[in-house]
Amino acid sequence: MVTTIALCDPNLLIRGGLRAILAGEPDIEVVAEVADGEQALRTVRRLRPDLLFTALDLPGGHGFEVARALARAPETRSTGVVFLAQSFDPALAVQGLMAGGRAFVSTGDPPRRLVTAARAVAAGYAVLPPAVLADGPWLTGSGGAARPGAAPGVPGLTGRELEVLRLMAAGMSNAEIAGHLSLGEATVKSHVSRLLGKLGLRNRSQAIACAYRTGLVTVPVPGRG
């Protein structure tokens, strides 16, 4: 199955480079290139691509605004938004998820990472830079295992659901979570479905953003151990 992608970046050279990288894959088709947010919105409404790769700084707007607009409209919310940044900022990456994006990559990343991100988002996963997902004391917030019952800021989740949400925020797939917790994959899927329902969320990206926003997991501060 071919994944269709639209590109949005005011820099013609960057768009050309992205097209060359992505279009070289047999399962990816670049269907459009645009230079600003308004063009991106019109293009997604017209072509309904699977993914939109967009820069953050756009003429007359911001990539986050584009993502929010797409997420609000039923006819465009299925398009996965991948943010392109010139440099990495952990807090900005999490803000991107909160805005409705599903991945955050750097224009300086190796070509293979861009392709991998495209395939992962097309498959329904969220993608953050390694520095955000790296294991460390910030991952579990309090540094301890989840306790049964609700956590502050995440009302109604059981201890197991909190564990699953933390591992989702660490970038694990359902299969990886199942292996980590010694559960069946079907059981993990059930936990994911229930926690999404309890939190009123639509997908994994929103769940991961919720985990960061509520402090269940926190963003590492650069330069601190």
| 20 Cβ neighbours under 8 A, 6+ residues apart | none
Report residue 124's pLDDT band, with 50, 70 and 90 as the boundaries. confident
Count CA atoms within 13 Å of residue 60 on its CB side.
6
Question: Any idea which residue has 């970038």 for tokens?
Answer: 171
Class assignment of domain 135-225?
mainly alpha
Burial class (CB in 10 A: 0-12, 13-18, 19+), 20: exposed
Dig out the tokens for 108 from the structure.
């300086």
Its pTM stands at 0.64
Give the tokens for residue 65. 């605004």
8 A C-beta contact, residue 86 and residue 63: no
> Which residue has better confidence, 113 or 222?
113
**Same fold? 3-133, 135-225:** no
Fold of 3-133: Rossmann fold (3.40.50)
pLDDT above 90 covers a percentage of the chain that reads: 44
Helix (H) / strand (E) element for 209: namely helix 204-213
Cα radius of gyration (the chain):
18
Determine the Cα angle at 63 with ends 59 and 66, to 5°: 100
CA separation for the pair 179, 129 (Å, rounded): 23
Amino acid identity for residue 17 in this structure: G
Q: What one-character DSSP code corresponds to residue 158? A: -
Nearest alpha carbon to residue 25 among 51, 62, 46, 58: 51
Q: Where are the domains of the chain?
A: 3-133, 135-225
Higher-scoring residue by pLDDT: 70, 143: 70
Residue found under tokens 């926003």: 213
pLDDT per residue over 64-113, tens digit each? 999 999 988 989 989 999 999 887 777 677 778 778 888 888 888 889 98
Band the pLDDT of 126: cuts 50, 70, 90. Answer: confident
Looking at residue 43, its pLDDT comes to 97
